[in-house]
Structure formats: C-alpha cells, structure tokens
Amino acid sequence: MEELIKRYEYEIIANDFDIAGSTSSSIKRNLKSIGVDPSIVRKVAIVSYEAEINIIIHSKGGKMCLEIYKDKLTIRAHDNGPGISNIDLAMSEGFSTATNEAREFGFGAGMGLPNMKKYSDNFNITSSSEGTNIDIDIYMD
Amino acid sequence: MERAFYLDKNKCEGCTNCMRKCPTEAIRIVNEKAVINNDKCIHCGECIRVCPYNAYNSVTDKIDDINKNKFSIAIPSTAVYGQFHIGTEICNIHKALLSMGFDYVYDESWGADLVSQAVRNRVKEIKDNRPVINSNCPAVLRLIKVKYPSLMENIIQLQSPMEISAILARKKAKEIFGKNDEDVEVFYISPCPAKSIRVYSPIVLGPSKIDKVISLKEIYGDLIREMKMHHEICYSNPSIKGLKWSLSGGQCEAAELEHSIAVSGIENVLNILEEIEMGKLNHIDFVELMSCNESCVGGPFNFENPFVAKNNINYIIKNTDNSNILIDDIDRFEEFDKLGYFEQKINLGFKNAQALNIKAGIERLEKVNQMVKILPKIDCGSCGSPTCRALAEDIVDGINTIESCVILKLKK
Ligand SMILES: Nc1ncnc2c1ncn2[C@@H]1O[C@H](COP(=O)(O)OP(=O)(O)OP(=O)(O)O)[C@@H](O)[C@H]1O
Ligand code: SF4
Ligand code: SF4
Ligand SMILES: [Mg+2]
C-alpha cells in the first residue's frame, strides 16, 4: 500500500440542486492551490463533477473522498442506495434514467459514467441496493 | 514592456477599489498605494475602469513615434469605428489618420472577415478538446494561462484579425507601393492595454506583426479635430462580417457555427471557464470569450460607452451593402490559407506558479485554511489583501502579517 499523504471528505446531499457542483469545485480549487499539474486537475474536475451529480440526482445521498498519494489521486464516491441494477447498461453511452426535473437542469445525457471511465486510469464500480461505490485512480506522472 | 499601463502614485489614494475588482487578485495595497504583480496581471483593465481617481494611465506609443523614414500603416481596431457620433463615415476616420501622418490605413474588418472563414473551417476539423476557445482577446488568453492552464489546449491556433490585418497590410505595401517589409512600420489603434501587451510581450502567442500600439484615448482628440477640419463626402467599404467582430456574439455569427456561445465581461468569462473545466460544455463547438462588456466596443481605452458604441457600429452595418464589395483580399481566402497565413501556434508550456512538490503544497494549504479560520471573513480589504483568504495566503507566503488585520486589532 502506498503512503496516503492527505484525505479530504465531503458530504453530498440528495436532490440539492442549489449547490450541485460545489464539492467538485472545491476539490478542483484545492488541487490547483496545492500545485497539481493542470491536466491532472482537469481530469479530476470532470470525474468528480460527474460522480457528485450522480449522487445528487440518482441516489439517497452519500459522500465523496479525495485521497492524495505520492504519485496518484484517488476519488471515491460512495452513496446509500438504491443502487444500479444493471451496471453494464448504466455504463453504456446514452443510457439514462434521469427524471424530468434533472433533465431541466441539463443532466441526463447518459454520458456521466462513460466519461468518468474515460478520464480515469483505474475505474472500479460496485453496486447493491445498499449503495453504489465508485473508486477512481488518476496517476500524476 | 511588462505592463501596458502604469499607476500614478501621486494620484493613488490606496482606496482598495482596484484590488477588490481584479479578477486574478494581482493587486495589493502596500504603504497605501496599489502594487501590481506582473505575473498575475492579465491586462483586462478592470482596475483602470474602476479607479475613482483616474490614477491608471496607458503606456502607449504616440503619433510622434511615426518614423518619417518608413512607410507607416495604421490599423484602427474595428471598435474605433463606434467611437464617433452616429453616422460617421469610416472613410473619414481613415482620412483623418492619413492627415495625421500615416501613409496607409488598413481596415481591420477585412482581416476579421477572412479569419471568420478560417475559424469556421478549423472548428469543424478539430475533433477533441471541445469547446474550442477564440484567440483574439489577449486578456482572456492570459487569464487562461494563469488560472485555467488546462484549457490552453482548447484555444484555437489561429491568428487574430489584428495580426492578419498586419500581414495583409504589409503585403499591400509591397504590392501597391513597392515597400519592403523592413521599410514598413505597422501601428495598431487599440481599445485596450491587452492588445499592447500581446504585441510587446507575447507569452501565449508567437511574435506579433504589429510594431507599435497607440491607445485610442491617446489620439482621440487629434482624430476629432482632423475629422472636423477635413470633413468631406467619401466612400466607405468595410466588411459587415468583420465589423461584427467588435460586438459580443459577432465572431460566432460571422463564423456561422451552430453550437456556439458568446460570453463577454470578465466575470462572466470566469464563470464559463469554471464550467468548461468541469467538462460541462463539451457539447458546445465554439465559445467566444471577450474580457470587456459587450466585447471590444467595451475596451477600457475607448471613448464612448459600450452600448452607444454598439449602436453606432450597428448603424454602420445597417447602412453598408456588401453585395459589390471592392476588396480583393476577401476573395483570396484559399490562397492565404494555403500560404499558412492564419496559423498561430499557442505556447502551451504551462509552468506551475510555484512549482511546489505536493507535500509542501498540502502543508501550505493547511496553514492557509487554519489562518482563514482566525480571520474575520468580511473581506474588507483594509489589510491590503483583496479577501481574508488572500490575506491568509499572503501571511503564509510571508508577504503580509496578521497585524495588518484591522478588525482583529479592534477586537483586542
Ligand atoms: N449513484 C447512482 N445511484 C443510482 N443510479 C445511478 C447512479 N449513478 C448512475 N446511475 C444510473 O446510471 C445511469 C447512467 O448514469 P450516467 O451518469 O452515465 O448518466 P446520467 O446521470 O443519466 O446523465 P448525465 O450524467 O449525462 O447527466 C443513470 O441514469 C442512473 O440510472
Ligand atoms: S489589468 Fe486586470 S488583472 Fe491586471 S491588475 Fe488590473 S484588474 Fe488586475
Ligand atoms: S475584449 Fe477586446 S478590448 Fe477588451 S481586452 Fe479583450 S481584446 Fe481588448
Ligand atoms: Mg450522470
């Protein structure tokens, strides 16, 4: 196991559209101020934004973590259900069960999970009715 | 030149207005005077606009800087055409410039017209890094470099209308007047400090084809005088497409791009760049980002307010007929494109401001966050730093002290 340098944790509240994106914004701001390479920051920004929004619009709420290691960043998005019944289907481009309300806010293109996978170096997703866990690594070299 | 404007210390009262308005937190108040950090300044001119004491002045070339031994060309920004009373003919503005000592005037709207076509083609060719960002507002380019470096790759690698106009004006000097490049000097009449700094110290784009930059404010009085003295009927021949480039949305319109958005005003630009960085605008093909309200008609060195200038330009557009345009350059797009005239490399090399290692960076951030907790968080600016958070950073970086906080002192 690599040495963990720092861990940040954020609470994400379901259906709170007012502050949707604020967690990924502060993750982005922190990484910039720490001095992480801009292209890495951008990947993390995209990945954490999609993960945050998914927790807000599809789940009962949960939390996100940013872990900083010597040469990688790990983003963990863990929520409290209801889970994804068919992960392969959810991962396919264009698949979405977003509500009309969420669509009015511009979400629901079904591109969130595919994009998260695209911008990460390791992408791991597990899901049950207890909750969905996504763990993502982005390397810093 | 490190900066295209300066602060008159005698006029500065240390009022903190500019410091609080600066989008990159480049200003501090030290010993009751504003001090600008050149590494952070993007030349947006917000400080110039907001200063109640008019303490900021442009560093500009002057009419006297015309070299009599050279063939001198003036290229007025298209925004200049909106600075005179409604109905003023562009040809009269050009004539006034000629009588002030220039040998030739090139109309930037033609350059802009040609760039529109290049933008359209290029955006269609580019497959990734959406949305593509315009390259003609030097303040926005610097903003991206200092605050959103990961978006450098989205900037379109094309010349601006100003640069294309300089290239074509030099070509004209050769073709019509037989002047060699080294015997020609090109002046740009600029609405902003950003254009000067693009010419004098390009950090994002390659070297400029403009030699000297005169701020519009500098020659406005002389221009008005000349125009009154030599007013006569003449024929103007601008490009409608090109004129639109001085107005917000004009580039999108001229390039006829379907999924494009236009954003003007530095605060709006900051917000949209945040969103682009999160990948929220990947479905948009092109964004036109301009630092000034309403685009270049809102430039800080203009005379008219942006909205009046916009109406003036729209009036010219309405009264211009391009059906029998007499500009040969406009028909030579393919030829210029093949010659590579529109190509402009972007200097991608982004260096981290402090090149900290991650551990030291985290330690610094922790200290800053601790310090923010102690400070009153009312962002009054009396300490000389723009926000409590900025003061916290300045304390940690050793350029200010906690004793500067007036509120904490009062509480004691
Ligand atoms: N945390 C989650 N909990 C429950 N279901 C989820 C969760 N995340 C994704 N899903 C399901 O997977 C589908 C696809 O997710 P994805 O993020 O790819 O698209 P989207 O959120 O619907 O639209 P977009 O992200 O493009 O706005 C969602 O519509 C939803 O049904
Ligand atoms: S020009 Fe803009 S960036 Fe530079 S100091 Fe003034 S407000 Fe700040
Ligand atoms: S919008 Fe135009 S006038 Fe304003 S800074 Fe940019 S280029 Fe200059
Ligand atoms: Mg999603």
Name which of A5, A25, A39 is nearest B358 (Cβ-Cβ): A5
How far is Cα A48 from Cα A111, in angstroms, rounded to an integer?
14
pLDDT tens by residue, B103-149? 999 999 999 999 999 999 999 999 888 999 999 999 999 999 999 99
With CB atoms and an 8 Å threshold, state whether A109 touches B350: no
Pick the range with the lowest mean pLDDT from A83-87, B4-8, B157-161, B202-206. Answer: B202-206
Which of the four pLDDT bands, split at 50, 70 and 90, describes residue B326?
A: confident
Ligand minimally distant from the alpha carbon of residue A95: 1
- The rounded mean pLDDT for chain B is 94
Residue B172, number of CB atoms within 10 A of its CB = 17
How far is Cα B382 from Cα B410, in angstroms, rounded to an integer?
13
Ligand minimally distant from the alpha carbon of residue B196: 3
Pairing of strands B104-105, B71-76: parallel
pLDDT tens by residue, B14-72? 999 999 999 999 999 999 999 999 999 999 999 999 999 999 999 999 999 999 999 99
How far is Cα B35 from Cα B14, in angstroms, rounded to an integer?
10
Which helix (H) or strand (E) is B92 found in, with range? helix B90-99
Question: Is A112 touching ligand 1 by the criterion CB < 6 Å?
Answer: yes
Q: Is B156 helix (H, G, I), strand (E, B) or coil?
A: coil
Residue B340, number of CB atoms within 10 A of its CB = 8
How far is Cα B52 from Cα B50, in angstroms, rounded to an integer?
6
Q: Find how far residue A131's CA is from the centre of its chain.
A: 14
From B123's Cα to the closest Cα of chain A, the distance in A is 22
Residue B54, number of CB atoms within 10 A of its CB = 9
What are the pocket residues of ligand 2 if the criterion is a CB atom closer than 6 Å to any ligand atom? B 22, 24, 26-27, 36, 41-47
How far is Cα B362 from Cα B356, in angstroms, rounded to an integer?
9
How far is Cα B174 from Cα B170, in angstroms, rounded to an integer?
6
CA angle in degrees (0–180, nearest 5) for B271-B272-B274:
65
Sign of CA dihedral B190, B233, B88, B229: positive
pLDDT at res. B353: 46
**pLDDT for residue B355 is more than 70:** no
**Residue of B148, B278, B359, B394 to mutate for A, most A C-beta atoms under 10 A:** B278
Q: Which residue has the tokens 């002290």?
A: B401
Question: Is A127 touching ligand 1 by the criterion CB < 6 Å?
Answer: no
CB A117 within 8 A of CB A91: yes
**Which listed CATH number (3.30.70.20, 3.40.50.300, 3.60.21.10, 3.20.20.150) goes with B1-59?**
3.30.70.20
pTM, full prediction: 0.93
With CB atoms and an 8 Å threshold, state whether B150 touches A42: yes
Average pLDDT over residues B340-368: 80
Alpha carbon of B301 to ligand 3 centroid (Å): 10
With CB atoms and an 8 Å threshold, state whether A35 touches B357: yes
**pLDDT for residue B351 is more than 70:** no
Ligand minimally distant from the alpha carbon of residue B55: 2
Strand order in the sheet with B104-105: B104-105, B71-76, B184-190, B212-215
**Residue of B128, B150, B276 to mutate for A, most A C-beta atoms under 10 A:** B150
- In the structure encoding, which two tokens stand for residue B64, read together? 């006297």
Which helix (H) or strand (E) is A7 found in, with range? strand A4-12
Helices (runs of H) and strands (runs of E) counted in chain B = 16, 11
CB B123 within 8 A of CB B285: yes
- Give the max Cα distance, chain B: 77
B348 touches chain A (CB under 8 A): no
Q: Is B127 helix (H, G, I), strand (E, B) or coil?
A: coil
With CB atoms and an 8 Å threshold, state whether A49 touches B361: no
Question: Is A102 touching ligand 1 by the criterion CB < 6 Å?
Answer: no
How far is Cα B216 from Cα B190, in angstroms, rounded to an integer?
6
Which positions ≥6 away from B97 have C-beta within 8 Å?
B74, B76, B105, B189, B223, B226
Pairing of strands A62-69, A4-12: antiparallel
CA angle in degrees (0–180, nearest 5) for B361-B273-B364:
10
With CB atoms and an 8 Å threshold, state whether A24 touches B150: no
Structural domain boundaries in chain A: 4-139
- In the structure encoding, which two tokens stand for residue B9, read together? 């210390």
How far is Cα B142 from Cα B152, in angstroms, rounded to an integer?
10
**pLDDT for residue B352 is more than 70:** no
pLDDT at res. B235: 86
- In the structure encoding, which two tokens stand for residue A105, read together? 């806010």
B contacts of A6 (beta carbons < 8 Å): 362
Average pLDDT over residues B274-300: 95
With CB atoms and an 8 Å threshold, state whether B355 touches A35: yes
pLDDT at res. B354: 44
Q: Is A117 helix (H, G, I), strand (E, B) or coil?
A: helix
How far is Cα B155 from Cα B205, in angstroms, rounded to an integer?
10
pLDDT at res. B59: 93
What are the pocket residues of ligand 3 if the criterion is a CB atom closer than 6 Å to any ligand atom? B 137, 139, 191-192, 194-195, 290-292, 295-296, 299
- In the structure encoding, which two tokens stand for residue A81, read together? 């259900």
With CB atoms and an 8 Å threshold, state whether A33 touches B277: no
The ligand 2 atom nearest the CA atom of B46: 7
DSSP codes joined into one string, B169-237: HHHHHHHHH---GGGEEEEEEESSHHHHHHHHS-SSB---S--EEEEHHHHHHHHHHHHHHT-------
How far is Cα B190 from Cα B299, in angstroms, rounded to an integer?
9
Candidate of A57, A96, A127 to mutate for ligand 1, largest count of ligand atoms within 8 Å of Cβ: A96
pLDDT at res. B356: 56
What is the mean pLDDT for each group of 10 consecutive residues in chain A (141 residues)?
A: 89 90 94 92 96 96 95 96 95 93 87 96 97 97 79
Q: Which residue has the tokens 């996100």?
A: A64
B contacts of A38 (beta carbons < 8 Å): 148-150, 152, 350, 352
Q: Residue A83: which region, alpha, beta or left (left: phi > 0; alpha: psi -120 to 50)?
A: left
With CB atoms and an 8 Å threshold, state whether A46 touches B362: no
pLDDT at res. A2: 77
Candidate of A47, A48, A57, A58 to mutate for ligand 1, largest count of ligand atoms within 8 Å of Cβ: A58
- In the structure encoding, which two tokens stand for residue A57, read together? 């619009």
CB B150 within 8 A of CB A42: yes
- Rounded to two decimals, the ipTM of the complex is 0.86
pLDDT tens by residue, B164-200? 999 999 999 999 999 999 999 999 999 999 999 999 9
Question: Is A105 touching ligand 1 by the criterion CB < 6 Å?
Answer: no
A contacts of B149 (beta carbons < 8 Å): 38
CA angle in degrees (0–180, nearest 5) for B117-B122-B125:
135
Structural domain boundaries in chain B: 1-59, 63-338, 356-412
Q: Which residue has the higher pLDDT, B203 or B324?
A: B203
CATH superfamily of A4-139: Histidine kinase-like ATPase, C-terminal domain (3.30.565.10)
How far is Cα B125 from Cα B94, in angstroms, rounded to an integer?
37
Q: Under CATH, to which class is B356-412 assigned? A: mainly alpha
Sign of CA dihedral B99, B101, B102, B103: positive
Please write down the long-range contacts of B273-276, taking CB distance under 8 Å and 24 or more positions apart.
Answer: B273/B143, B273/B144, B273/B147, B273/B148, B273/B151, B274/A25, B276/B131, B276/B133, B276/B148, B276/B151, B276/B154
Q: If interface means Cβ-Cβ distance under 8 Å, which residues of chain A face chain B?
A: 5-6, 21, 24-25, 28, 30, 33-39, 41-42, 45-46, 49-50, 68, 70, 106, 109, 115, 140
DSSP codes joined into one string, B227-292: HHHT---------HHHHHTTSTTHHHHHHT-SSEEEEESHHHHHHHHHHHHTTTTTT-SEEEEESS
From B289's Cα to the closest Cα of chain A, the distance in A is 19
With CB atoms and an 8 Å threshold, state whether B368 touches A33: yes
Candidates B17, B270, B149; CA nearest to A38 is B149
